Chain A
Amino acid sequence: MTARLVLAWALVGIPLAYGLYKAIETAANLFAS
């Protein structure tokens, strides 16, 4: 059950982390100038 839990959260967590990173990267443009 623990392995399934880790797999399930990794499956949604990794893409979400990618999306968050890219959004923060874009948001950083607001403070770049």
Chain B
Amino acid sequence: MTGISTPGFLARERTIAAPGFNRWLIPPAALCVHLCIGQAYATSVYKVSLTDRFDTGATQVGFIFSIAIVMLGLSAAVAGKWVDHGGPRRAMFTAACFWAAGFLVGALGISTGQLWLVYLGYGFIGGIGLGIGYISPVSTLIKWFPDRPGLATGLAIMGFGGGALIASPLSAELLARFDSGFDPTNVESVASGSAVASLFVTLGIIYFAFMMFGAFTVRVPADDWLPAGFDPEKVKQRALITTADVSANNAVKTRQFWLLWVVLFCNVTAGIGLLEQAAPAIQDFFRDTEGGTTAVAAAAAGGFVGVLSLFNMAGRFVWSSTSDVIGRKPIYVIYLGGGMILYFLVATVGDTSTALFVLLTAIILSFYGGGFATVPAYLRDLFGTYEVGAIHGRLLTAWSAAGVVGPYIVNGFLDAQGEPGTLTSAAYQPAFFTMVGVLAVGFLANLAIRPVAERFHEPSDPTEKVTA
């Protein structure tokens, strides 16, 4: 991949910032990418339209998005070094091309009634755009904000959550324009396949333009640039923060990488398990003990999902920024230890009041978002900035794995408890107690993290570093 020649306007050298460049232009450039690729979590708007269009089941349609998430993990892991060494503009440009092409090929598949083209387009091609786009601004943000890496990466990764918040209502409004018979306020209403194809073309064009703005706004700092008043030696005084560099190839040989992999896997598993089941869960928790009627209406359950989405997004920024002050290891003690207590409380007293249930689960989701957003800064602390984007890409395989395991744990236990629509809060206890155990494993893994041994460090002379 590194052998591919790069057009001059995308070259890293052409993106080095001139003196006086304002670093606060970098977060919006990163957000331009993350707000677009966050659409991946706003696909429920047209899921039923696709099952109708292809006359198939929800599983076959759900497979489109599963391919996209798997490709996210794979492309982030495989292309990480290429992203780090080629600079953010080339990566953002490439991500925009893949992401937009994914929509266009997907639209062709919907128009012609060929599901495999949607798998190839949105799933495979778009998924590559997702992975490259997700990691594209990370190392650049960390280099521009060595004094506040948690805040910087938190802002960008918050955008991934924000992208879903934008894409859901935007897609519903666009579908209503393309199909006059579609009413987004009526849950029974289903948009036509041609409306979804038009939506894909429109989103592809909008996202391409948006991501291009990010690609041509982003800059990398000069090698000797430091923010005014920033002293790297002061940062180094914290035990886990290194000023040395570890390559991606060496990072995966360290215990610290795999401990952090476990930490991320456990945190994401616990969050996804709840997120996947959110709307039915709140209805089941407040169903009468005979498994009959529920006190929570479908519209209110939808509102609950909205509350969780807001806390998921806010947690990314708030908790990640807080980690700059209290440190990365302590913040994960809060995410994982606090998560254990909260999950236990949801399982045992969550059904006593709706407000308490919402409060406990919302904080759990804020920890889930915070875990995603803080991990790049944790990697920077442990492995330095040299190939932090590539290391982050490899760590994201934990996300892909958790995306399978989290829903499997919750759905597996619930299936054994009875039929959907008849479950009560007691049915959730085995799954939620399992999540307490999963979080405990992550908690211990986080406590076991120590500084990386010097034998894994790159030579301090930059000319001796192995460049990819």
Contacts and interface: CB of A to CB of B under 8 A. Distances in A.
Bin the interface of chain B by size.
20 to 34
A23 B362 CA distance: 14
A4 B17 CA distance: 14
28 contacts: A1-B20, A4-B217, A8-B213, A9-B28, A12-B28, A12-B31, A12-B35, A16-B159, A16-B162, A16-B165, A18-B166, A18-B170, A19-B162, A19-B165, A19-B169, A19-B170, A20-B162, A22-B166, A23-B165, A24-B306, A26-B302, A26-B305, A26-B306, A29-B300, A29-B303, A30-B358, A31-B303, A32-B299
Question: Of residues B20, B21, B24, which shows the largest number of chain A Cβ atoms within 10 Å of its Cβ?
Answer: B24
Interface of A: 1, 4-5, 8-9, 11-12, 15-16, 18-20, 22-24, 26-33
B122 to A, nearest CB: 21
A15 B166 contact: yes
Given A5-B24, A20-B165, A33-B300, A11 B358 contact: no
Contact of A11 (B28, B302, B307): B28
B302 to A, nearest CB: 6
B243 interface: no
Interface string B152-173: 0000000100110111111000
Contact of B169 (A12, A16, A18): A18
A26 B310 CA distance: 11
Contacts of B162: 16, 19-20
A27 B365 CA distance: 15
Given A5-B22, A22-B168, A23-B310, A33 B28 contact: no
Contact of B306 (A1, A9, A12, A23): A23
Q: Per DSSP, are chain A's interface residues mostly helix, strand or loop, or mixed? A: helix
A12 B25 contact: no
The 7 closest A-B pairs by CB, nearest first: A30-B303, A29-B303, A19-B165, A19-B166, A27-B306, A26-B306, A8-B28
Nearest to B165: A19
B166 A24 contact: no
A11 B421 CA distance: 43
Contacts of A15: 35, 166
Contacts of B165: 16, 19-20, 22-23
A21 to B, nearest CB: 9
Contacts of B21: 1
Contacts of A1: 20-22
A16 B297 contact: no
B298 to A, nearest CB: 9
Contacts of A33: 297, 299-300
Contacts of B163: 19
B218 to A, nearest CB: 10
Given A8-B28, A11-B213, A20-B165, A27 B310 contact: yes
A29 B305 CA distance: 10
A8 to B, nearest CB: 4
B99 interface: no
A27 B313 CA distance: 14
Nearest to B21: A1
